[in-house]
């Protein structure tokens, strides 16, 4: 089983990032996808040792330093969107847009394009796992737990595109 871990909106919750990283190492994930709002460069260091694919979120203010740390870690960290291939799957990663409505339209357009096996987004702090045609759409909720009942991330099986939502704790 080849799996990737999908996180978003960690908002400097280093405690949750550490727990997540420990769990992801136990799961032997192939990569970590972060859909933005890491916030501070020191928080990104918690993901050392993983292959990281990430986009900036609206709360990522220290972009220069975040980019420098990403470079040190060998991570991909870019302004949205990130279009990449992971484990033979074409993946689109975005944080979100300025409003929930625009975020929904952006995600829907990417999913309906039929260019991607997986579309990942964040920003809303709300879990969303669904299919749009053949495309898997994943919002893992928030790793910070802010504005949500719990801190969560997703494990995505790259072979079957099945998703497991995991609560950090």
- 8-20: pLDDT as tens digits: 999 999 999 999 9
Query: What's residue 61's pLDDT?
Result: 87
Write down the pLDDT at residue 117: 98
Query: Is residue 36's pLDDT more than 80?
Result: yes
Handedness of CA 157, 133, 78, 37 (dihedral sign): negative
Phi first, then psi: give them for residue 35, nearest 5 degrees.
-90, 30
Q: Is the dihedral angle over the CA atoms 103, 162, 130, 117 positive or is it negative?
A: positive
Q: Which domains does the chain have, with CATH numbers?
A: 3-167 (3.60.21.10)
pLDDT of 42 strictly over 80: yes
Q: Residue 1: its pLDDT value, please? A: 64
Rounded CA-CA distance 163/169 in Å is 19
36's tokens: 């933005």
Average pLDDT value for residue range 148-156 = 96
Torsion angle defined by CA atoms of residues 63, 116, 51 and 1, in that order, rounded to the nearest 10 degrees: 150
pLDDT, averaged across the chain: 97
């Amino acid at each position: 089983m080849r799996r990737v871990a999908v996180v978003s909106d960690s908002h400097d919750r280093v405690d949750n990032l550490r727990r997540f990283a420990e769990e992801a190492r136990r799961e032997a994930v192939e990569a970590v996808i972060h859909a933005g709002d890491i916030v501070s460069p020191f928080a990104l260091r918690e993901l050392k040792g993983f292959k990281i694919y990430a986009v900036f979120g609206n709360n990522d203010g220290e972009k220069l330093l975040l980019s420098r740390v990403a470079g040190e870690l060998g991570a991909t960290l870019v302004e949205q969107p990130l279009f990449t291939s992971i484990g033979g799957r074409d993946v689109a990663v975005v944080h979100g847009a300025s409003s929930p409505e625009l975020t929904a339209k952006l995600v829907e357009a990417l999913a309906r394009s039929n260019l991607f096996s997986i579309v990942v987004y964040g920003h809303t702090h709300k879990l969303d796992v669904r299919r749009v045609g053949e495309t898997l759409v994943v919002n893992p909720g928030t790793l910070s737990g802010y504005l949500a009942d719990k801190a969560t991330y997703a494990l995505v099986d790259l072979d079957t595109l099945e998703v497991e939502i995991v609560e950090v704790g």
